[in-house]
Amino acid sequence: MAGLADLAEAIRSGRQLSPDQAARAADILDAAAVGDRRAALASRDRALLDAGEFLPSLTSHARAAALHSELTRYQTSAWSRDRILDNCPTRYVGTIRANLWHALKANDAVPSARTIRRLLAISPPVYGQRASSG
Choose among 41, 51, 61: nearest CA to 111.
41
18 contacts: CB under 8 Å, gap ≥ 6: 2
pLDDT tens per residue, the chain (134 residues)? 457 777 778 788 888 878 877 777 777 776 776 778 888 889 999 999 999 999 989 988 999 999 999 999 999 999 999 999 999 999 999 999 999 999 999 999 999 999 999 998 887 555 444 444 44
28 close to 14: Cβ distance less than 8 angstroms? no
42 vs 39: CA distance, rounded Å: 5
Residue 67 burial (CB count, 10 A): 28
Residue 134 burial (CB count, 10 A): 11
